[in-house]
Amino acid sequence: MHWADHTAQRLRDRGGPQVSCSGITPSGEFHIGHLREILSAEMIHRACLDGGLESDYVFIVDSMDPLRRVYDFLSDSYLKYIGHPLAYIPAPGPDGEPGDGSTSYAEHFLRPFLEALSQIGVNPKVVMNHETYESGGFAESIDNAISMRGEIREIIEKISGRELDEDWFPYNPRDSSGSMDGVKVTGYEKPFVSWVDSNGVEGRSDIRKGDGKLPWRIDWAARWIIHGITCEPAGKDHGASGGSYDTGIPICRLLGGNPPDKITYEWIQLKGMGAMSSSSGVTVGPMEALGLVPPEIMRFVIARSKMGRHIDFDTGASLFRVAEEYERLVANPPLENEGMSKRQKIAVQTQNGAIRMSQLERGANPSDSIGGVSFGHLSFLTQIKNTDEGVWDSLRKSGHVTGEPSESLVGRLSKMRNWIGGDHFPEDGRIRILTEARDEIREEISEKGVDLLGELSSTMGDCEWNYEAIEKCIREAFEKIDIPSRDGYIALYLALLGRQFGPRAATIIGEMEREDFVSLAREYSRC
């Protein structure tokens, strides 16, 4: 069965309502790697619903996390905000300078990301972590963590191998300027934590307000309790031995909660460039990717891969192959039969589950996502037609589209134009139909190929001008000239495109004016 369905089955054994969760720190530009965690959690949520379970999906924004450094896109003016929660510092303007404060840093980077999620069919319940602190949602967990400071210290040190400072405290208060850096706790009398900052200023923070936060390993465990989280996939860094997951589980139990099962995923890597990372600069943004890739295909990239396997993400040549795989499965859903082995049945279930999880709306018909036009054919038409209407006219002529194109198909064409017009489109995917014979190409066409073009220059004059009739005419010419199909198509592609491969030859010819093709074929036949 599909990995999401398998996880849902495990959650059923746990009992009760299910809450899948993912989260993000809105510290800067996001990359496509973040989508693996988010889509993994969302697909498990869908699988729970499909399995008849009560389920919810929450997306926690770590808006209480501090600004840790001045990123390249920020001015040095942000130095004064290091250590301040992202929710309480102003968003940067186009010049990297702090804005007027009407929008927070966290909101600024979060909004486009949520828009990207909506485009890909993900519409979670969004939880801003600073609001949970402000409303007192963390107060009980903070109090318990302080009361069990020694036990938590022992868990972290024993499992992670880290040695904590002698004055370590399971709560980071904000100082008089709003920063959590350089603040030393001097006492605790519920609900107030007393402190002194690096400037010698004394103060106290109310654990019922946004006056501070729990350290990450405790914060994560506490939110599992607060939000009733039963499932939260995490990257392999958090899932590594001694990582946040290994400490979070016993801390959660210590604080009185029932932690989720440990679920980890491998990273997405840019093909040939390694794992995506904001710090390394090896990134493709979600908005950028979704401007190029149909959302169902983007979901399919995640859905078809087990969480324990890394994903090579490529917006170049391999995108054609992924799209073709998706379209093949949609057109011919694999079926189980009695003669299959257990392994074969699992493969069928996995493929069908991947298609199901790839749809923008749960329960949607996968065929609607294609709109009757293959990815490859749309790529071809987009390159040879200067206008969208030219593409629609061609699709109406070929019978792919009746009347007005669907909203899905309009969106796919827009993304296709972005892809073709950008840096990601592979050079060997570019198509330019030739209209005049070239001497260098003549030298590559075999004698049989020349004979074939001569024959077609004659027969195509009377052929019906549609893909099927043209294909029939080509095959009849192959037989008459006695040329192997492979050699015949090579001759055609050389004449039409100047290379030995390309989209379906009949499709290329059918999009030409009859006179242009006949003239081109005749020119080559004269040599």
* Nearby residues of 119 by Cβ (< 8 Å), 6 or more positions away: 290, 295
Whole-number pLDDT of residue 281? 44
Q: Is the dihedral of CA 477, 481, 487, 491 positive or negative?
A: negative
Whole-number pLDDT of residue 273? 46
Q: 386-414: buried (b, 16+ CB within 10 Å) or exposed (e) per residue? A: eeeeebbebbeebebbeeebbebbeebbe
Q: Residue 276's Cα: distance from chain center in Å? A: 12
Q: Residue 155's Cα: distance from chain center in Å? A: 35
Q: Is residue 37 within 8 Å of residue 21, measured between CB atoms?
A: no
The closest of 164, 183, 163, 162 to 172, measured between CA atoms, is: 183
Q: Is residue 249 within 8 Å of residue 262, measured between CB atoms?
A: yes
Q: Residue 334, CB half-sphere, CA atoms under 13 Å: how many?
A: 19
Q: Where are the alpha helices (DSSP H) in 102-148?
A: 105-119, 129-134, 139-147
Q: Please provide the size of the chain in residues.
A: 527
As a whole number of angstroms, the distance between CA 494 and CA 450 comes to: 11
Whole-number pLDDT of residue 283? 53
Q: Could you tell me the CA-to-CA distances from 128 to 135, 178, 191 in Å, in that order?
A: 11, 18, 22
Q: Is residue 259 within 8 Å of residue 249, measured between CB atoms?
A: yes
pLDDT in tens, the chain (527 residues): 899 999 999 999 999 999 999 999 999 877 777 889 999 999 999 999 999 999 999 999 999 999 999 999 999 999 999 999 999 999 999 999 999 999 999 999 999 889 889 999 999 999 999 999 999 999 999 999 999 999 999 999 999 999 999 999 999 999 999 999 999 999 999 999 999 999 999 999 999 999 999 999 999 999 999 999 999 999 988 888 999 999 999 999 999 999 998 999 998 877 654 444 444 444 566 677 888 889 999 999 999 999 989 888 888 888 899 999 999 999 999 999 888 998 999 899 999 999 999 999 999 999 999 988 999 999 999 999 999 999 999 999 989 999 999 988 999 999 999 999 988 898 888 999 998 999 999 999 999 999 999 999 999 999 999 999 999 999 999 999 999 999 999 999 999 999 999 999 999 999 999 999 999 999 998 64
CATH of the structural domain 439-525, one choice from 1.10.10.350, 1.20.1090.10, 1.20.1240.10, 2.40.30.10: 1.10.10.350
* Nearby residues of 234 by Cβ (< 8 Å), 6 or more positions away: 37, 244, 245, 263, 264, 265
Q: Which 3 state secondary structure label does DSSP give 408?
A: helix
Q: Decide the pairing of beta strands 234-235 and 212-213.
A: unpaired
User: Within 10 Å of residue 477's Cβ, how many Cβ atoms?
Assistant: 21
The verdict on whether omega for the bond into residue 484 sits within 30 degrees of 0, i.e. cis, is: no
As a whole number of angstroms, the distance between CA 353 and CA 4 comes to: 8
Whole-number pLDDT of residue 43? 98
Whole-number pLDDT of residue 286? 67
As a whole number of angstroms, the distance between CA 19 and CA 125 comes to: 11
Strand segments, DSSP code E, in 369-443 are none
As a whole number of angstroms, the distance between CA 114 and CA 121 comes to: 11
- What is the chain's Cα-based Rg? 30
**Residue ranges covered by each domain of the chain:** 375-429, 439-525
Whole-number pLDDT of residue 276? 43
Whole-number pLDDT of residue 42? 98
